[in-house]
Amino acid sequence: MIVIAIANQKGGVGKTTTAINLATAFAASGWRTLLIDLDPQGNASTGLGIARADRENSSFELLIDGASLSECARETSIPLLDIVPATVDLSGAEIELVSAENRTQRLRDGLTDHAKYDIAFIDCPPSLGLLTLNGLVAADKLLVPLQCEFFALEGLSQLLQTVEQVQQRFNEDLGIVGITLTMFDRRNRLTDQVAEDVREVLGDLVFDTVVPRNVRLSEAPSHGVPALVYDHNCAGSRAYMDLARELIDRLPKRRKAA
């Protein structure tokens, strides 16, 4: 199983939207896909229509209580896409992890029983705490959603420093699979300037596909479905399908489900 952490310590950059729609696109392409909601807000779970009453076993149990992956993962309405949902209990996990044994490796240990899946996406919280650290230690690759705004590169620098520390201390195999530009607005000249600056600094790490500001992407979670299901022809959905194709090209070739 390929494990991709989707992380940015800055909130509101389209991280959860990216996680939901990339996972959906991969499942639609025949990949047996798992989405792990590691954010206490549980927005990825809500966005896939998982009611709070249906989250008896969650990422909290996986991390803290030693529950198995098969106990915590549940099917979604999307064929080939399962999710480990999140509950508000996860907000207390940071404190419990401080004194836990192997506190940075709890998620990696919880994913050992993964034969059912080809790929997993981890929706990390908007912070660089122990939850995100567990996501980075468990991952093979990191995908960074980057909003096209003035402070984008400053926040990215901090994240890249954290990745370097994780590589040195916990997970030397962690690599950055790519950076995706989100909330792109061609009417705003600053957006174009930020995108140009990011590409100049980071080169081929930046995906060609940019995700535009799109009202359908914002509406879809309130209906409990990904944008790719809510309106597969909208500009946001088309962008995420293009992004998924780019990402597949950057990953090792894996056998997909029949």
pLDDT tens column, 7-26: 998 888 999 999 999 999 99
One-letter amino acid at 8 equals N
Strand (E) or helix (H) holding 74: strand 74-75
- Tell me the Ramachandran region of residue 84: left when phi exceeds 0, alpha when psi lies from -120 to 50, beta otherwise: beta
Which pLDDT score, from 0 to 100, does residue 258 have? 44
Mean pLDDT of 80-96: 93
Q: Is the pLDDT of residue 41 over 80?
A: yes
Which pLDDT score, from 0 to 100, does residue 25 have? 97
Token pair, residue 212, equals 């535009």
Confidence of residue 257 (pLDDT cuts 50, 70, 90): very low
d(CA 140, CA 97): 22
Which pLDDT score, from 0 to 100, does residue 156 have? 80
The model's pTM is 0.93
Which pLDDT score, from 0 to 100, does residue 255 have? 54
Q: Work out the percent of the chain whose per-residue pLDDT is above 90.
A: 71
Which pLDDT score, from 0 to 100, does residue 81 have? 98
Contact 141, 4 (CB under 8 A): yes
Mean pLDDT of 218-226: 94
Q: Is the pLDDT of residue 188 over 80?
A: no
- pLDDT one-digit tens code per residue, 132-178: 999 999 999 999 999 887 777 777 888 888 899 999 999 999 999 99
Mean pLDDT of 91-105: 88
Mean pLDDT of 234-257: 87
SS3 21: helix
End-to-end CA distance of the chain: 16
CA angle 244, 236, 202 (to 5 degrees): 55
pLDDT, the chain, mean: 91
Confidence of residue 207 (pLDDT cuts 50, 70, 90): very high
d(CA 204, CA 234): 27
d(CA 90, CA 226): 23
The more confidently predicted of residues 152 and 110 is: 110
Q: Comparing 66-80, 88-102, 109-123, which segment has the lowest mean pLDDT?
A: 88-102
Which pLDDT score, from 0 to 100, does residue 76 have? 96
User: What are phi and psi for residue 210, nearest 5 degrees?
Assistant: -115, 140
d(CA 192, CA 188): 7
Which pLDDT score, from 0 to 100, does residue 174 have? 95
Which pLDDT score, from 0 to 100, does residue 232 have? 93
- How long is the chain? 258
CA angle 103, 108, 112 (to 5 degrees): 135
